[in-house]
Amino acid sequence: MKRRIPVFIIPVVVAILVSAYVFLITERQRSFTFEFNEYENLQIPTSQEAIDHGRHLFVTRGCVDCHGDDGRGSVIQEGWFTGRITAPNLTSGKGGIGDERSAAEIIRAFREGVKPDSTSVLFMPAHKFSSLNEADVTAIAAYIKQMPAVDQELEPTVLSLPIRFGYMFMHRVELFPARNLRHPLELSNEIPVTDLEKGAYLASACAGCHGYGMDGGPIPGVPPTWPEAPSLRQDGPTADWSLEAFVTAMRQGVTPDGQHLDEDYMPWTAFGKLSDEELKLLYEYLQTLE
Ligand code: HEC
Ligand code: HEC
C-alpha cells in the first residue's frame, strides 16, 4: 500500500517556511548597522532658557506621546498584531536609560534613528525629527539630561510575526527607521529668520504624516488601519479656514464642520501646546501653499 501525505499538511508546511523566512530576514535587518555623526563636539546648552525650549519641543514634537510627560516611557502598543512596542524610560530612575546615554547618543537616536550599537532604533519615527536644527536638538538633549529620575521598569519590545509580515509585504509598518534615512545625516545650524521661514520650519513637524509638500496621502510607516492625512495646501479642507478655526482645530481637535480629530492619528494635543505666535506662523505659512 502506498503511503500518502495528507493534503492539509502542504499549506501548514508552507506557512511554517514562510514564517521562518520572514523571521530570519527581519532579524537580519535588525542587526544591520549604520554610519552616524559623532555629535560629541556639539555644545549642549545649560541655560534655563535652553532647557525650557527643549521641554517645549519635547511636548510639541510629540516625544511625550510615547515617552510620557516626565520621560518615564510607556508601552505604546500591545496586541496580537503589533506584539509589544515599548518606548523606554529616558530618565536616570530605575528602569531608565538616562545614566547610560550621553547627549550625543540621545541626539543620534532621535534624529538619525541609530542606537549606541549602531543598529536602528525600533519604530521611533526619527525621520520626523531629522529636520530639527542644531539649536533645537541640543536643547532637547539638554532637557532630557536634566530630567528628574522617575522609577518605571517596562516590559521590553517584542516584534510579533504579524508585524514582521506587515513590514516586509505591506510596506506600511516601519520597524527599522534608520533604513529610510541617508547616513550620516547633515545637521543644519541655520536658524529661520523671516516669518515664512519660521512657519515652514514649524510645518516640518507635520511633514512626517501630511507629506513633505503638505499634500497629504497615506502615511508611511503606520499600521494599515490609519486614515490618510488630508492635504494642508490650498486644495485641502483647511483652505478657507480662518486663523481662529485653525487654532481651535489644533487646540481642541474640532474642525469648523464639527469633525473631532482623533488624537491617536492626528496628535493635536501635542501641537495644541505650540504658542499663539507659533500657531499663527504655521497658519500663515500653510496659507501660502497654492
Ligand atoms: C511614536 C513613538 C515615539 C516618539 C514620538 C518618540 N519616540 Fe523615542 N523611542 C520610541 C521607541 C519605541 C524607542 C525604543 C527604540 C528601540 O528599542 O530600539 C525610543 C527610543 C528613544 C531613545 C533611546 C534610544 C536608545 O539609545 O536606546 C531616545 C533618546 C528617544 N527615544 C528620544 C526621543 C525624543 C527626544 C523624541 C521626540 C523628539 C522621541 N523619542 C519621540 C518611540 C518614540
Ligand atoms: C502622526 C501623524 C500626523 C501629524 C504629525 C500631523 N497630522 Fe494632521 N492629521 C493626521 C491625520 C491622520 C488626519 C486625518 C484625521 C482623520 O481623518 O480623522 C489629520 C488631520 C488634520 C487636520 C484636519 C483637516 C480636516 O480634515 O479638516 C488638520 C488641520 C491637520 N491635520 C493639521 C496638522 C498640522 C498643522 C500638523 C503639524 C503641526 C499636523 N496636522 C501633523 C495626521 C497627522
Pick from 231, 108, 228, 225: nearest CA to 177:
108
Indicate if the pLDDT at residue 222 is higher than 80.
no
Nearest ligand atom owner, CA of 262:
2
CATH number at residue 253: 1.10.760.10
Cell 527643549 maps to which residue? 54
Minimum-distance ligand 1 atom for the alpha carbon of 115: 26
Contact 187, 137 (CB under 8 A): yes
One domain for residues 176 and 53 = yes
Answer whether residue 34 is part of any domain. Answer: no
One domain for residues 147 and 170 = yes
Answer whether residue 78 is part of any domain. Answer: yes
- Name the band, by pLDDT with cuts 50, 70 and 90, for residue 182: confident
Task: Give the span between the Cα atoms of 183 and 114, in whole angstroms.
Answer: 10
Distance between alpha carbon 197 and the CA centroid of its chain, in Å? 23
Q: What cell was used for 245?
A: 478655526
Answer whether residue 166 is part of any domain. Answer: yes
Q: What is the pLDDT of residues 274-284, one digit of tens each?
A: 999 999 999 99
Contact 98, 153 (CB under 8 A): no
One domain for residues 100 and 176 = yes
Answer whether residue 30 is part of any domain. Answer: no
Nearest ligand atom owner, CA of 252:
2
Residues contacting residue 167 through CB under 8 Å, at least 6 positions apart: 26, 173, 174, 175
Can you give the residue range of the structural domain that contains 202? Answer: 195-287
One domain for residues 111 and 229 = no
* pLDDT averaged over every residue in the chain: 93
Mean of pLDDT values over 251-257: 95
Answer whether residue 57 is part of any domain. Answer: yes
End-to-end CA distance of the chain: 77
- Which residues sit with their C-beta closer than 6 Å to ligand 2? 205-206, 208-210, 219, 227, 229-230, 232, 237-238, 249, 255, 259, 261-262, 265-267, 271, 282
Task: Give the span between the Cα atoms of 171 and 165, in whole angstroms.
Answer: 9
One domain for residues 142 and 258 = no
Q: What is the pLDDT of residues 83-101, one digit of tens each?
A: 999 999 999 999 999 999 9
Domain boundary among 180, 208, 227: 180
One domain for residues 171 and 52 = yes
Indicate if the pLDDT at residue 4 is higher than 90.
no
Task: State whether the beta carbon of 59 lies less than 6 angstroms from ligand 1.
Answer: no
Task: Give the span between the Cα atoms of 146 and 269, in whole angstroms.
Answer: 24
Answer whether residue 52 is part of any domain. Answer: yes
Burial of 277 (0-12, 13-18, 19+ CB in 10 A): exposed
Answer whether residue 26 is part of any domain. Answer: no
Indicate if the pLDDT at residue 2 is higher than 70.
no
**Furthest-apart CA atoms within the chain: distance in Å:** 87
Task: Give the span between the Cα atoms of 179 and 221, in whole angstroms.
Answer: 12
Q: What is the pTM of this model?
A: 0.91
Task: Give the span between the Cα atoms of 116 and 137, in whole angstroms.
Answer: 17
* Residue of the CA atom closest to atom 13 of ligand 2: 229
Indicate if the pLDDT at residue 1 is higher than 70.
no
One domain for residues 170 and 229 = no
Residues contacting residue 178 through CB under 8 Å, at least 6 positions apart: 34, 112, 113, 114, 119, 120, 121, 126
